[in-house]
Amino acid sequence: MKLLVTAGPTREPIDAVRFITNASSGQMGYAVAAAGVATGMEVTLLTGPVALEAPEGCQVVPFVTVADLKAALDARFDACDALVMSAAVGDFAVQRPVAGKLHRTAGPLTLTLVPTDDLLGTLAACKRPGQRIVAFAVEEGPPDRAQAAARAKLATKGADLIVVNTSAAMSSQASEAAILSPSGVVLPWARRSKSELAGQIIRLLAPGPAR
Ligand code: CTP
């Protein structure tokens, strides 16, 4: 089984030396890649800039911007059996990045940010029968409210499963999370290590009796 996993943050340039990014550590995606390799899957890990060592046995493809990630996904999505979209894809990019370095002495600066493409939604719209997509959603508030928001996101994005967690998980080794499918809760809300959660995701994707 061919598994495509995305991990970590994207960066969008402001100028030649500055960028906007997010707090994703990449740990969740790396844990999914490691769990996939451990069960014999052929794993490709698309990774943003993170301070982690890639699990042995997977193919690693780096990305920086949302556009890089989109190109890497477009080149590989057709050939995979499942995509686990754990990357924290930036929702906004700077409309007009500056080629050189902006100088503080130039005074106040206003940045216009434009929404990025919905990579997962676009891929899900053209997935082939049998191909599966796992989305992630960071939602705030009590578990019931977070799960309701994630259920709505699962439907609009057209994913098969969605892992809902909170922003506290972003740079932590553990995650308060649940996994939902269109028919309901497939893994109840609880605090787990990211490697345990990754194992659960892989079990849900693995073909055969473990599914
Ligand atoms: N995602 C994506 N492309 C984007 C933003 C997010 O593919 N431009 C993916 C993420 O990797 C994740 C899922 O979509 O698997 C949900 O991400 P989230 O940021 O919660 O979704 P958004 O559609 O950006 O919704 P929101 O406005 O709540 O941030």
Long-range contact list for 120-123, CB < 8 A, 24+ apart?
A: 120/83, 120/85, 120/89, 120/157, 120/159, 121/156, 121/157, 121/158, 123/73, 123/77, 123/83
- Asked if residue 186 belongs to a domain, the reply is no
User: Can you read off the two tokens belonging to residue 16?
Assistant: 């030649």
Is residue 88 included in any domain, yes or no? yes
Domain-embedded: residue 30 = yes
Residue 173 has pLDDT above 90, yes or no: no
SS3 153: helix
How would residue 210 be classed by pLDDT, with cut points 50, 70 and 90? very low
Please give the helix or strand (H or E) that residue 165 lies within, else none. strand 161-165
Q: Is residue 168 in a domain?
A: no
| Structural domain includes residue 40 | yes
Give me the active site residues, please: 22
Residue 196's H or E segment, with its range, is helix 194-205
* Residues 182/154, Cβ–Cβ less than 8 Å: yes
Range of the domain at 25: 2-98+111-137+193-205
Q: State the average pLDDT for the chain.
A: 95
pLDDT digits 0-9 by tens, 39-61: 999 999 999 999 999 999 999 99
Nearest C-alpha to atom 21 of ligand 1 is from which residue? 137
Q: Among 120, 123, 162, which residue has the most ligand 1 atoms within 8 Å of its CB, making it the best to mutate? A: 120
Q: Is 211 a domain residue?
A: no
Q: What pTM does this model have? A: 0.95
The residue contributing the CA closest to ligand 1 atom 8 is 118
**How many domains does the structure of the chain reveal?**
1
C-alpha 51 – ligand 1 centre gap (Å): 22
CATH code, domain with 89: 3.40.50.10300
Residue 145 lies in a domain: no
Structural domain includes residue 11: yes
CA of 82 from ligand 1 middle (Å) equals 18
Which residues form ligand 1's pocket by a CB distance below 6 Å?
Answer: 85, 87, 89, 91, 116-120, 135-138
